[in-house]
Chain A
Amino acid sequence: MNIFRLCGDLSHLLAILLLLVKIWKTRSCAGISGKSQILFAIVYTTRYLDLFTSFVSIYNSVMKIVFLSASYGTLYLMFYKFKPTYDHNHDSFRILYLIVPALVLSFVIVHAYTLMEVLWTYSIYLEAVAIMPQLFMVSRTGEAETITSHYLFALGSYRALYILNWIYRYYTEDFLDLIVIIAGIVQTILYCDFFYLYITKVLKGKRLSLP
Chain B
Amino acid sequence: PVTEPEHDEL
Q: Indicate whether A and B interact.
A: yes
Residues of A within 8 A of B (CB): 5, 9, 12, 50, 54, 56-57, 60, 63-64, 67, 111-114, 116-117, 120, 162, 165, 177, 180
Number of interface residues of B (CB under 8 A): 9
If A12-B10, A60-B10, A67-B10 touch, whether A177 touches B5 (CB-CB below 8 Å) is yes
What residues of A have a CB within 8 angstroms of the CB of B2 in the complex? 112-114
Task: Say yes or no: B6 contacts A54, CB within 8 Å.
Answer: yes
Residues of B within 8 A of A (CB): 2-10
Task: Say yes or no: A120 contacts B10, CB within 8 Å.
Answer: no
Which 8 residue pairs of A and B lie closest in terms of their CB atoms, listed nearest first?
Answer: A56-B8, A112-B2, A112-B4, A117-B4, A111-B5, A63-B10, A114-B4, A114-B2
For the complex with contacts A9-B10, A113-B2, 8 further pairs of A-B residues with Cβ separation under 8 Å are A5-B9, A56-B7, A56-B8, A60-B10, A112-B2, A112-B4, A117-B5, A120-B7
Main secondary structure of the interface of B (DSSP, over half): loop
Among B2, B3, B4, B6, max chain A CB count under 10 A is at: B4
What residues of A have a CB within 8 angstroms of the CB of B8 in the complex? 56-57, 60
Closest to B2 in A: A112
User: How close is A126's CB to chain B, nearest CB, in angstroms?
Assistant: 15
A56 to B7, CA, bound (A): 8
Closest to B5 in A: A111
Closest to B7 in A: A120
